[in-house]
Amino acid sequence: MEIMIVSIILAITLFFLISEWIPIDLTAIGTMVALMLTRILTPTQAVAGFANPAVITVGAMFLISQAMIRTGVVGFIGRRVLHLTRGRAGLALLVVLLIVAVASAFINNTPVVVMFIPVILSMGCRLGVSPSKYLIPISYVSILAGTCTLIGTSTNIIVSDLSSKYGYGALGMFELTRVGLPLAAVGIALIMALAPRWMPDLLNPTCELESQPKRRYLAELVVPRGSALVGLNPCNGLPAKYPGIEVTELIRYSHIFHPCRDAVAIAPDDLLLVKGSPNDITHILQGKDVDLPETQTGMSFSGPDETLVVELIIPPQSELLGQLLRETHLSRDEDLHIVAIERSGLHYTEKKIKDIRLRIGDILLVWCRADQISKFRGRSDWILVEDVDQEIVYTRKAPLAVAIFTGMVTAATTGMADIMVCALAAVFLMLISGCLPFKEAYRAMQSSVLLLIAGMIALGTAMDKSGASRFYAELFLGMLQGWSPVLVLGGFIVLASISTEVMSNNATAVLLLPIAISTAMGLGVNPKPFIIAVCIGASASFATPIGYQTNLLVYGPGGYRFTDYLKMGIPLNVMVLAGGTMLIPIFWPF
């Protein structure tokens, strides 16, 4: 009876996931509720997925990805790939797929995909190609490459340990390469041919944001003694060091120099009037090359958790209209500092920014204490815009972010700690070091994906507890009675592939390996080919987003539907089935 109930719940769940009549996270919640109401699972068992390492790991990876974006690491990788491929979309995709493949063969593929999701989003916008054409391919390639070595995926390690336990020896480091490498090569070729045609061409909001013209502010900067800018030509020397910054005037005591007209070099105590985006201006202030004039005591750009960069827009009803900036109470407030001003068609004529008389529509770029931001909200004298802080890239934190990410990957790969432990440790370090602001970390969590994982874990638990998974496995194998060992081997690859679409790949391996060994013994053949078949089939999760962590990671950023995975996933599953059935008996004879 329980098997029938679980089967009905499974069918209904898959129907709603494929049709998307209701949101996927609501489907996941409904699945857990149904399993509890039918008493298939206890409440504790139904919600145990929220404490599952897979959920915690994926959630941590979302935060790590955002930290890599915020520190500019992702942008740097994207620019290097674009430079290497000279802006050719097809070649750029191939380069990214090869990098992902090589990396996924030796380290856990989850952080690899996390690293390249934002890279693909950025590159797609710059190349004029929808990122949704690239994200599923990088997930698929990471899965294929993971079968090339013993440490490429946790499934291989589990199968190796079980094989040793049952007396058939552990798998060698590169034993799977004989099958995994040809399958990965054919898979990449198939993806390159099919992805541009079959993947959806979706307009990504990130591209829309990047296409918007960036506001350029006028800022006032002082050159301190010992600055690396001393002696540089302000017309081309400073922009070479800080791209995006344009020096409009250099003020030395009472004399004004025009950088590109007058022959002048930057000297200590010079006042520079520069133009740039909020990110460009914040970037130069993060270093020690310039200071803000009359910087308030205790104000520092040392950590994004302590300060915020916001915009104040002057509306028509503001009492500040017509006042000199230096005469306003903003200039005297100890909790903020005015960094720059933006005005359409502004021509700088005053000697200092604080001598500018405010007009309707002026935008002040303000640097303020994060714990005091509430007192600037809801005022009639200005409109507070906080989103600008999300655009700031803290490039000075990039080396630290790379070191944390590298440490996480190294620790997980060498077995020093579990991938979940490593990911949580990396998130902690990213947050406490200022690579990722706390408030941005909460926004980076994709709750719908995490709910979906938790719901599918509950469903997998129900199938295991009720005996449904074993029932269907034995029913399937019963259909293969009397068939040759090669066909039965192919059947195991199909069975493992189907099972891993519903359960986790590790659970599939644990369930099917003893069945595979007993089936081989019943046929009177060597069980080793069947062990390899389970290993290959358990990782062949291409047709749904719920069978593998990396498929779920790209689901939200790519804006995909459940059916998008079927388009290219089914051909890849068929390729793995055909290739595995032909190659495994060659290298591991019956």
- Point out which residues pair with 250 in neighbouring strands: 257, 272
Nearest to 148 by CA among 190, 107, 97: 107
- Would you identify the CATH topology of the domain 217-395? Alpha-Beta Plaits (3.30.70)
Contact present, 96 and 127 (Cβ < 8 Å): no
CA 184 vs CA 100, 144, 148, 165, 572: distances in Å: 12, 5, 8, 29, 10
Taking the C-alpha atoms of residue 165 and residue 169, their distance in angstroms, rounded to an integer, is: 8
Half-sphere exposure of 388 (CA within 13 A, CB side): 26
Q: How far is CA 321 from CA 208, 305, 314, 357, 408, in A?
A: 33, 32, 8, 8, 53
Query: What is the DSSP annotation of 559-570?
Result: T--TTHHHHHHH
Among the listed residues 53, 50, 39, 57, the one whose alpha carbon sits nearest the alpha carbon of residue 2: 39
Domain boundaries, the chain: 6-205+447-587, 217-395
Query: pLDDT 10s digit of each residue in the chain, 590 long?
Result: 788 898 888 888 878 877 778 887 888 899 899 999 998 889 998 888 888 776 787 788 778 878 887 787 777 777 787 778 877 878 888 888 898 898 888 776 777 887 788 788 877 777 778 888 889 999 999 999 988 888 777 788 778 888 887 788 888 878 899 999 999 999 999 999 998 888 888 765 555 445 445 667 888 888 988 888 988 888 888 888 888 888 888 888 878 888 888 888 999 988 888 888 887 887 788 777 888 776 544 445 444 445 677 788 888 878 888 888 878 888 777 777 787 887 765 554 445 677 788 888 888 888 777 777 777 777 778 887 765 555 566 777 888 988 998 888 788 777 787 778 888 999 999 988 888 877 778 777 777 777 877 887 788 788 778 888 778 777 777 777 778 889 889 988 998 888 888 766 777 787 788 888 888 887 888 989 999 998 999 888 898 887 787 888 888 788 888 888 988 999 999 999 999 999 999 999 98
Predicted local confidence at residue 296, as pLDDT: 46
